[in-house]
């Protein structure tokens, strides 16, 4: 099964209509079809996924909070709408999971941090309002690295999420819970957030699709801020059509986020034509570096060959400032984080230390007891980079190098329509392998970080497995606000391969 | 050495973080190695390069100042670690 072969999307149609169908394995569009033909009710869909969570989440540990009752209530409401016979919005009755960094009214939103452990937001993020307006079913909140800072979900203050493909390996991060939940069929699809690769890298590690939209494509209102000039919310899904459906649901201008772009949102599903003839795929030499895992490199080249067989052309492009991306990122992102996380002072919400002697002690001890080691390290680094005497040497310097990284992409996109790279230089690693050395963990984000610095859209799709059975991801990077093209190319590749149909051995 | 223990203490104060002696030394060593890595940015001449703070062209957003529904005081206070009636309660700041 683990090899490239031609198959058509209609092939699975018959199988899910049979009685043996496992509802939890269905994609969003397959669930939509079943609801439309009344082959399944929303309650049946949601109950089957909740049952699977009960059975398997003890192993995977994807969820921080489950909202079973609310989910079944919402499914019942959708079934009543179905009974009336009115046309339903696209996400009606679809069971989704939400990364625990996105505010959900009345449902705990912890950022996997002790400092926000009991926090129940009094409002919904804009993306949540949009999902609710489409009658989607929210199953619960998913685990992550504390405040989205990490690449393995090991920085969660609560517990470690496991990779469904190999339970002694990390699911990637920071959106590891969302990625693992989708891969293990513990939801139909999920939302995550991506500041330096936090959607694409876990999607790659868990063998599913994950899209970071262009900066400004999706409203950040209600996304707990990490690095405001880099953060973006995006979908995790079992296939590209589902990515397109979810992106369409959450994208668009929001008066509550002044950085959300006032641009029309294309109908992404209709751009999935399967035709990539003449699409120019740029391959940056600078990304095929020493230290890349040979199995990852081989899988990515095979994927590029597949795209060429489908009629795309290969162009050589250059991103010469790639070696400076991680250094730039860890100044820009930590500087913004140190400022954003200043709000956790133990006054209006979140954790407060017991019996502080005075106000200063209340701040210092609440933050000391509430934040984990990686968050403290980044607050310290960011505060240092912004402090008097170091601002020009670090923060301003990094912002200037950010300009150079952006220009690299502008030049590259004069010669191509899409850039193809590995998502991560290595397959998933084992727990504890990189926790002792923060810099080693940072270096694993080499291929995803530049995309955030340049504000571009990027998607990771499954493109193979190692001999040990660990997933490998292909990253496709697009021009600003051109999610349609990367989705089209990803979809054509997916139609020509079977990777996305493989299921972890749970 | 890129950063001294004294600087770590200064930055911790600015960031309102209390660190134990052991944490300070560990933090110093880790930040030191990260800063040494970041030094590679100095290989680039950026004297003629404009900084990027945001990738989008940012303009100020204006709107009419209209009265709109907002959260109630009760909703705002519901997550407070400590409150007194309709106020957030904090340790005394002013002397009597």
**A465/B22 Cα distance (integer angstroms):** 42
**A156/A222 Cα distance (integer angstroms):** 20
pLDDT of residue A326: 95
Q: Which of A255, A342, A377 sits opposite B27 (nearest CB)?
A: A377
Q: Is there a contact between A359 and B93 if contact means CB atoms under 8 Å apart?
A: yes
Q: Distance of alpha carbon A424 from its chain centroid, rounded? A: 14
A368/B contact by beta carbon, under 8 A:
yes
Q: Is there a contact between B81 and A364 if contact means CB atoms under 8 Å apart?
A: no
The full DSSP string for A91-150 is TTT-EEEEETTB-BTTB---TT-GGGTT---SS--HHHHHHHHTT-EEEEEE--SGGG--
Q: Is A81 left (phi over 0), alpha (psi -120 to 50) or beta?
A: alpha
Q: What number of C-beta contacts closer than 8 Å exist between A and B?
A: 156
A394/B contact by beta carbon, under 8 A:
yes
pLDDT of residue A252: 98
Q: Is there a contact between B27 and A360 if contact means CB atoms under 8 Å apart?
A: no
Is-contact A449 A329, C-beta < 8 A? yes
Q: Is there a contact between B27 and A380 if contact means CB atoms under 8 Å apart?
A: yes
pLDDT of residue B70: 92
pLDDT of residue A440: 80
A323/B contact by beta carbon, under 8 A:
yes
Residues of B whose CB is below 8 A from A356: 91
User: Which one of the listed residues A48, A198, A219, A366 is annotated catalytic?
Assistant: A198
Is-contact A218 A232, C-beta < 8 A? yes
Provide the chain B residues 65-84 that lie in CB contact (below 8 A) with chain A.
Answer: 71, 75-76, 78-82
Residues of A whose CB is below 8 A from B88: 347-348
Whether residue A178 lies in the annotated active site: no
Nearest CA in chain B to A117: B79
Is-contact A63 A38, C-beta < 8 A? no
| Start-end of H helices in A117-238 | 126-133, 176-183, 200-206
Residues of B whose CB is below 8 A from A351: 81
Q: pLDDT by residue (tens digit) across A427-463? A: 999 999 998 888 888 888 999 999 999 999 999 999 9
ipTM over 0.85: yes
Whether residue A174 lies in the annotated active site: yes
In order of A126, A243, A357, A413, A423, the CA distances from A211 in angstroms are 18, 7, 47, 19, 11
Is-contact A171 A61, C-beta < 8 A? no
The DSSP call for residue B40 is G
Helix (H, G, I), strand (E, B) or coil at A389: coil
Provide the chain A residues 222-281 that lie in CB contact (below 8 A) with chain B.
Answer: 229, 255, 258-259, 261
Whether residue A99 lies in the annotated active site: yes
Read off the tokens for A311.
Answer: 């009629």
Nearest CA in chain A to B76: A122
Residues of A whose CB is below 8 A from B11: 380, 383-384, 387
Query: Mean pLDDT by 10-residue block, N- to C-terminus, for chain A (506 residues)?
Result: 37 44 96 96 98 98 98 98 92 98 98 97 98 98 98 98 98 98 98 98 98 98 97 98 98 95 96 97 88 94 98 97 96 98 96 95 97 97 94 96 98 98 96 87 90 98 98 98 98 97 95
Is-contact A473 A463, C-beta < 8 A? yes
Q: Is there a contact between A454 and B76 if contact means CB atoms under 8 Å apart?
A: no
Residues of A whose CB is below 8 A from B31: 377, 380-381, 384
Q: pLDDT by residue (tens digit) across A230-280? A: 999 999 999 999 999 999 999 999 999 999 999 999 999 999 999 999 999
Give the pTM: 0.95
Tell me the average pLDDT of chain A: 94
């Amino acid at each position: 099964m683990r090899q490239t072969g031609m198959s058509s999307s209609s092939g699975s149609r018959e199988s899910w209509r049979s009685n043996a169908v496992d509802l939890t394995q269905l994609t969003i569009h397959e669930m939509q079809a079943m609801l439309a033909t009344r082959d399944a009710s929303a309650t049946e869909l949601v109950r089957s996924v909740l049952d699977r969570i009960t059975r398997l989440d003890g192993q995977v540990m994807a969820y921080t909070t489950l909202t079973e009752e609310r989910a079944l209530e919402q499914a019942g409401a959708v079934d009543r709408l179905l009974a009336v016979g009115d046309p339903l919005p696209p996400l009606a009755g679809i069971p989704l999971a939400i990364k625990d960094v996105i505010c959900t009214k009345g449902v705990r939103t912890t950022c996997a941090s002790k400092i926000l452990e009991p926090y129940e937001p009094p409002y919904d993020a804009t993306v949540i309002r949009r999902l609710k307006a489409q009658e989607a079913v929210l199953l619960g909140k998913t685990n992550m690295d504390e405040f989205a800072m990490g690449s393995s979900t090991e920085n969660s203050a609560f517990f470690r999420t496991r990779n469904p493909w190999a339970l002694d390996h990390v699911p990637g991060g920071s959106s590891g819970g969302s990625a693992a939940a989708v891969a293990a069929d513990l939801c139909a699809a999920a939302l995550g957030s991506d500041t330096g690769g936090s959607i694409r890298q876990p999607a790659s590690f868990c063998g599913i699709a994950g899209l970071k939209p262009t900066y400004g494509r999706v409203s950040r209102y209600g996304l707990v801020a990490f690095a405001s000039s880099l953060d973006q919310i995006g979908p995790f899904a079992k296939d590209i059509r589902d990515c397109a459906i979810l992106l369409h649901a959450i994208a668009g201008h929001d008066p509550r986020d002044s950085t959300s772009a006032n641009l029309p949102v294309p109908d992404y599903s209709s751009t999935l034509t399967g035709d990539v003839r003449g699409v120019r795929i740029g391959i940056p030499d600078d990304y095929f570096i020493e230290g890349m895992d040979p199995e990852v490199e081989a899988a990515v080249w095979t994927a590029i060959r597949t795209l060429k067989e489908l009629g795309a052309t290969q162009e050589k492009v250059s991103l010469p400032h790639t070696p400076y991306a991680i250094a730039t990122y860890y100044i820009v992102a930590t500087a913004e984080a140190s400022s954003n996380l200043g709000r956790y002072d133990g006054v209006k919400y979140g954790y407060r230390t017991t019996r502080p002697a005075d106000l200063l002690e209340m701040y210092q001890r609440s933050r000391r007891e509430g934040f984990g080691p990686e968050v403290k390290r980044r607050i310290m680094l960011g505060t240092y980079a912004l402090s008097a005497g170091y601002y020009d040497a670090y923060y301003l310097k990094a912002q200037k190098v950010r300009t150079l990284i952006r220009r690299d992409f502008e030049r590259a996109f004069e010669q191509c329509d899409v850039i193809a790279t590995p998502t991560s230089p290595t397959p998933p690693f084992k727990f504890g392998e990189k926790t002792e050395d923060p810099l080693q963990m940072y270096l694993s984000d080499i291929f995803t970080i530049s995309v955030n610095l340049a504000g571009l859209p990027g998607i990771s799709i499954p493109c193979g497995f190692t001999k040990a059975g660990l997933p490998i991801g292909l990253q496709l990077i697009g021009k600003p606000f051109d999610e349609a093209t990367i989705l089209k190319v990803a979809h054509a590749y997916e139609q020509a391969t079977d990777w996305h149909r493989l299921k972890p051995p749970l | 050495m890129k950063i001294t223990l004294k600087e770590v203490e200064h930055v911790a104060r600015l960031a309102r973080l209390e660190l134990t002696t052991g944490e300070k030394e560990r933090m110093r060593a880790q930040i030191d190695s990260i800063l040494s890595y970041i030094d590679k940015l100095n290989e680039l001449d950026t004297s003629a390069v404009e900084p990027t703070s945001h990738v989008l062209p940012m303009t100020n957003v204006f709107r009419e100042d209209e009265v709109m529904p907002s959260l109630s005081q009760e909703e705002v206070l519901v997550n407070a670690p400590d409150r007194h009636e309709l106020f957030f309660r904090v340790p005394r700041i002013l002397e009597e």
